[in-house]
Chains A and B, each alone.
Chain A
Amino acid sequence: MGSNNHCDVLVIGGGVVGTAIARRLCRYQLKIVLLEKEEEIGWGTTKANSGIIHAGFHSPPGSWKARLCVAGNRQYDQICEELDVPFRRNGLMMVAQTEEEKGILQKYKQQGEENGVEGLELLDSEAAHRLEPALAPHIQAALRAPSGGIIAPFELAIAQAENAAANGAEIHTGQTVTSIQCKNDCFLVTTQDNTRWQSTFLVNAAGLFADDVARMCNENVDSIVPRKGEEYVLDQRVGNLVQHTIFPVPTEKSKGILVIPTAEGNLMLGPTALELPYKDDVTTTREGLEEILSFTRRLVPQLDRRDIITSFAGVRAGSPTGDFIFHRSHEGRGIHLLGIESPGLTAAPAIADHILELLQEAGLKTVEKGDFNPRRQPVIRFKQLSDAEKQRVIEQNPLYAHVVCRCETVTEGEIVDAIRRGARTVDGVKFRTRAGMGRCQGGFCTPHVVRILARELGKSPLEITKRGKNSNLLMTPAKEFILEGGIVSD
């Protein structure tokens, strides 16, 4: 605690961008450290992200967004194969509801082609409805982008972090940066428990708080624009209603409210885009729900609110300029990523490549490691195994035969795997295994997950939290409370 820990590159922020950067850098002989303030990786904006891998026709040619989105998109097949992250290239469809919107589709097609997007095609009403019979009858035309895809963003961030750690990077969660001293040749970074890091290079990928972190370095940056988005998840029973991710024609503010078939087979509706003056409002609202339902039902009339199984909200770090900002400081040794809003997820691998270039320009020596392994150890997903594979894993470990999450068929073996891979909380288990994401939303499995976490971590069930800090699920042993007098004496 008293002395400084040393590293070559310190990455602040463990979202999908920060972890992509850490992974990109750890193939070199460098000491890489990543600090994430939440209890688990990806719990800032990343976990509320829609998960769409964009094609790249939304952004103006020459912009960072356009360039990095297209470059990033191309890498996803390889990345997801290496990291064993479920990914579907299901394609996107931007649909036109009016004659005027039809013309706008043409503009986006041209823009996309200029950006290097491949496979864009304009479909007339008949063709669009043939591909997507659930589309509203009044849809006149569609721009189809087969290169679009869908992913679980938190799974990607977790996988990137795991792979970076396996290759020697140090990933620390629960570490909030409280101050940064910028010296001539290094940065001194202190966290909330007085852990100190001394790093030659600093990459600020702190997302919503990147402007605050930049100001800790005395950099004068424009503030990010917090923009809240709500999302509503529908039962897997209706997951096949559409195949492509359905977009409306966008507005100035956002790409619009979408109908998203998720990587895991649900349907998701959203996001809204509400600008806020503060960064920590993650509430879902009645107004948000009604806005989303009325909007999406115009595109896909069959959508039924009774199929909603859960909802959530997150806040984006909106860019003050409308494009990604790579703010450099301290002769380039400091790089601050500001306003990595959509298509930030898609661009993440290309952003990582770009950050590497910037660091090299600023003097980072990059000597390749001989033993870099880009592959993550495959994750066992019991539900998806064939009968023979199921039998095999059960023979190795009978815990794979104890189904804990009934709705998603998640076994105790997978939950223990998740804990061994770093899950510390109920949500940590949930985001890694999907236990609790099904129809009953954890009604059945939560007591089991708590028990397993307690056992594996050597803690009392009373210490187990939903997502760290004070989010304990249980308060007191049952009989002790009343014997002590109960609430009256509390």
Chain B
Amino acid sequence: MAVIGGGPAGLAAALAARKAGAGHVTIIERNHELGGILQQCIHNGFGLHRFQEELTGPEYAYRFIPAVEADAAIEVMLNTMVLSLTPHQENKAKDAELGAGPPEPITSPAWHEIKAVHPGHGLITLQARATVLAMGCRERSRGALNIPGTRPAGVFTAGTVQRFVNMEGYMPGKKVVILGSGDIGLIMARRFTLEGASVEAVVEIMPYPAGLVRNVAQCLEDFGIPLYLSSTVTEIHGKDRVEGVTVSKVDENWQPIAGTERYIPCDTLLLSVGLIPENELSLGAGIPLDPKTGGAIVDENRQTLVPGIFACGNVLHVHDLVDYVSEEAEIAGAAAARYAQKIAEDLPRAARKGPETNPSQLSQVSGHTRSTRYCVVKAEAGIRYVLPQRLTPGRETDLFLRVTEPGESATFTLNGLRLARKRQVRPSEMIRLPLRTRHWEQLQKAAGKQALKELRLEAEIVSSPDKAPGKESREVKENNDREGKEIPAGSNHSTATR
């Protein structure tokens, strides 16, 4: 079994896979150490749910890394970059010139082929019965936002700056404007200030901050950093280095309002405007993605629509809490292990059938037949996205979703049937709704004799007109007692996926 990515998702998936009985798990990690993005997140607040402690990023990672390293059946390949992932249906004849190839010809349809590269071992080809995608995400760039102006040095995305400051030990600037009030932008506002720089402003296009209220308080208010809502950067100035930015207010369509321009002198523009799941390999593998999440379409086991390939963590959808990442990864890792074992058990039968074995026969081997009709879960009014997008009818699972706008309360319905009601919902906070047997029974009852093909999830959101954005009740503060999200919640600009 292969796990692509050794960050929080990959680590938890590998451990869960072993616990579920996987014989051999390989983690493929491009960095020189495990831990992924956590290694550069030196602030605390991770693990509040899972461990009831406020850990820093590296501390959270080290709740998993020792177990991985101690397990001889988990092979960790560091400094190894995966170049391609090819699901079994498309396996072609191997490169005859390569010499030492896989030990047996690729006639078994059950293998996925992973090509990777490592300085010592060169070009490596791995074969996996099951693969877990845990590649994380990348940051939305200035180019994707089309911010007009010049292209001087000093425009960075927040994660790049975090790496420079926390890992390399350099300050990229002294006078900073931050575009985007997602948590990573807020965290970096505080980090810059603690390192002696001046954060001139945080600029947010929505009328409410994107990050946690607690972070707005502890990162901005505590340091007297101004937050400009319903505003955006409309021009970057400077020849060699950033000299300033123009900030304008925006209307309800996010278009700049003429006459509201202000020039803010600065030497750095930090962008914290959204994360995009890093699905290059998935695209190459022909794995269907959900445009609403930017990640793969998955079922309750986090299996993608390509049998044997699973996905979890930020590569699947951008998370707020690493605790949920670990939980999701455990689902994917265990399911991948079970899948791989099933294949192994039935392998002789499949191999006997030879390379002409077609996918439907394979899916019988995998115990996951195409005749099993999934329910398609659809995100409708009020729902930005919901996951999993496919469900095996009758299986108990949790739905994870984000709403489209903040509200004092939201009532969630599935095919019109009331599922739950939540207080104080925000797009930046992922919501979890349990789907239990009784819900399935009700849904099936409502469908009568028809098979349940579609589940339409809707949220009726009651907005809170009398409360200013950013001010929330004490009760809510206590309920939302989690902080230090290491990654921004969704996107402040258009959909999360682009």
Q: Which residues of B contact A (CB under 8 A)?
A: 30, 79, 81, 83, 95, 97-99, 115, 117-123, 138-139, 141-144, 146, 148-154, 156-157, 159-160, 163-165, 167-175, 194-198, 234-235, 240-241, 256, 267, 278, 280, 283, 494, 498
Contact = CB atoms under 8 A, between A and B. Distances in A.
Contact of A487 (B144, B153, B198): B198
Taking residues whose C-beta sits less than 8 angstroms from the other chain, chain A's interface range is 35 or more
Given A447-B167, A478-B171, 4 more contacts: A283-B150, A446-B160, A477-B171, A478-B170
B114 to A, nearest CB: 13
B143 A394 contact: no
A186 B98 CA distance: 60
A487 B143 contact: no
A461 B123 contact: no
Contact of B149 (A283, A306, A467, A490): A283
Contacts of B196: 481-482, 484-488
A6 interface: no
A403 B30 contact: yes
A282 B168 CA distance: 32
Given A402-B79, A403-B30, A443 B138 contact: yes
B122 A306 contact: no
A35 interface: no
Given A443-B160, A482-B194, A387 B115 contact: yes
Contact of B146 (A308, A406, A481, A487): A308
Interface stretch (A10-18, A257-265, A468-476): A468-476
Nearest to A312: B151
Interface of A: 232-233, 237, 282-286, 288-289, 305-312, 386-388, 390-391, 394-395, 398-399, 401-403, 406-407, 409, 439-444, 446-447, 451, 461-462, 465-479, 481-482, 484-488, 490
A447 B241 contact: no
In the A-B complex, the 4 residue pairs with the smallest Cβ-Cβ separation, listed nearest first, are A486-B196, A310-B143, A482-B196, A466-B153
A447 B119 CA distance: 20
Interface centre among B167, B197, B283 (most CB of A within 10 A): B197
A284 B98 contact: no
Nearest to A451: B168
Given A237-B283, A310-B143, A403-B30, A471 B240 contact: yes
Given A284-B148, A406-B81, A481 B164 contact: no
Contacts of B169: 477-479
Nearest to B176: A487
A461 B170 CA distance: 9
Nearest to A487: B198
Contacts of B156: 446
Nearest to A390: B123
A286 B122 contact: no
Given A406-B81, A481-B197, A485-B196, A308 B172 contact: no
B122 A394 contact: yes
B148 A462 contact: no
Contacts of B139: 440, 443
Contacts of A471: 152-153, 240-241
A472 B171 CA distance: 11
A465 B153 contact: yes
B174 A481 contact: yes
Contact of A388 (B98, B149, B154, B280): B98
